[in-house]
Amino acid sequence: MNNLVETARLMLADPKGLLAMDESPGTCNKRFAQAGIEQTEESRRRYRELILTTPGLADYVSGVILHDETIRQSRADGTPFVKLISDAGIIAGVKVDTGAKDLAGHTGEKITEGLDGLRERLRDYFAMGARFAKWRAVIALGDSLPTNACIDANAHALARYAALCQDAGLVAIVEPEVLMEGDHSLARCQRATEQVLRAVFEQLYVQNVALDAIILKPNMVLPGLSCHVQPSADKVADATIQAFRRVVPAATAGIAFLSGGQSGELASVRLNAMNAKFKAPSAAAPWPLTFSFSRALQHPALGIWAGKDANTEAAQRALLHRAKCNSAARRGQYAP
């Protein structure tokens, strides 16, 4: 367990965060299609090579989350990506769930699958060089959603996954995401986020998961995308911190947010607002608060690259810029 606590500590090292690049081939292809990029395995490999060879990335990024396809791929010169990552001083991790599927009997809700055979897959990923894993559950809000059935099933699966990770020597990133789709208010998102996190930590406790070796990857508390009141970063920070203070045990190693579809700048501004509040010694947080963004880190870079080698360096500069912004936000020192 000591190794796991140490790995979690390195993943949360100041002033760094995590770079999520674990989009499934389907999701990656959708984003490629929007950017006019060819949707092939080789395009995905080239794009991931661009990310992983960005000069200076390790100054701001402690760990990268890979997809099963990516962890098996190599740089054009034959160097395995996992070696490239560890040579740069970055920790490799892998998404191990097999996706969110319709929850039977509950229209509009999802259950994340992937527990069958997980012990063996975790063993294989560890042998490949992964030192942490990720599992994402999604919770939709609506008139009568989420149901307890959806929350409980997903919390149970997250805890079973986390316990298996700890057996396999991997830090577990526990990601319960309350989605932004809908017209719900900030207060409604806060209530749902607290309800979901309470259920998740209850199940982590039941399954004997050591909290000082997990990283929570939650949503920020935000109103729905179509809610007509869009609050300031300050209000978002207050609601998010209040939710966590009420529900997240102090023993948890750290919190690394997903971006959930926010723009890169908004995600940085909001992360910054939270960390700025924690700067006063009287308000110090029990856990480090950092980033584990995919879209909010990668979005401008992907568009700039557009599949063309000639654009690689400009795309890398854009990626590094957002990583640097989020590193500053992690310290409460970001100015857009």
Q: Which residues are catalytic?
A: 175, 217
First to last CA, the chain: 40
The answer to whether the beta carbons of residues 58 and 17 sit under 8 Å apart is no
Report in angstroms how near the CB of residue 256 gets to ligand 13P at its nearest: 9
Cα distances (Å, whole numbers) of residue 156 to 70, 147, 169: 28, 14, 20
E strands along 48-187, which residues?
A: 61-66, 91-95, 100-102, 110-112, 132-139, 171-178
183 — phi, psi (to 5°)?
-115, 20
Report in angstroms how near the CB of residue 103 gets to ligand 13P at its nearest: 18
| Shorter beta-carbon distance to ligand 13P: residue 257 or 283 | 257
Report in angstroms how near the CB of residue 108 gets to ligand 13P at its nearest: 20
Count of CB atoms situated within 10 Å of the CB of 265: 14
Report in angstroms how near the CB of residue 295 gets to ligand 13P at its nearest: 3
Residues 6+ apart with CB under 8 A from 13: 62
Helix (H) or strand (E) holding 126: helix 118-128
Beta bridge partners of 174: 135, 216
What DSSP state is assigned to residue 133? E
| Shorter beta-carbon distance to ligand 13P: residue 63 or 288 | 63
| Shorter beta-carbon distance to ligand 13P: residue 178 or 328 | 178
| Shorter beta-carbon distance to ligand 13P: residue 3 or 263 | 263
- Residue 157, sorted as left (phi over 0), alpha (psi -120 to 50) or beta, turns out to be alpha
| Shorter beta-carbon distance to ligand 13P: residue 258 or 323 | 258
| Shorter beta-carbon distance to ligand 13P: residue 203 or 298 | 298
Report in angstroms how near the CB of residue 63 gets to ligand 13P at its nearest: 12
The token duo for 121 is 């897959």
Report in angstroms how near the CB of residue 284 gets to ligand 13P at its nearest: 26
| Shorter beta-carbon distance to ligand 13P: residue 175 or 238 | 175
Q: For residue 162, with 0-12 CB atoms within 10 Å meaning exposed, 13-18 middle and 19 or more buried, which class applies?
A: buried
What are the CB-based long-range contacts (under 8 Å, 24+) for 195-202? 195/146, 195/151, 196/139, 196/146, 196/151, 196/154, 196/155, 197/243, 197/244, 197/247, 197/248, 198/247, 199/151, 199/152, 199/155, 200/155, 200/158, 200/159, 200/174, 200/176, 201/247, 201/248, 201/249, 202/155
Report in angstroms how near the CB of residue 95 gets to ligand 13P at its nearest: 7
- In the complex, the residues that contact ligand 13P under the rule CB under 6 A are 20, 136, 175, 258-260, 293-296
Count of CB atoms situated within 10 Å of the CB of 226: 10
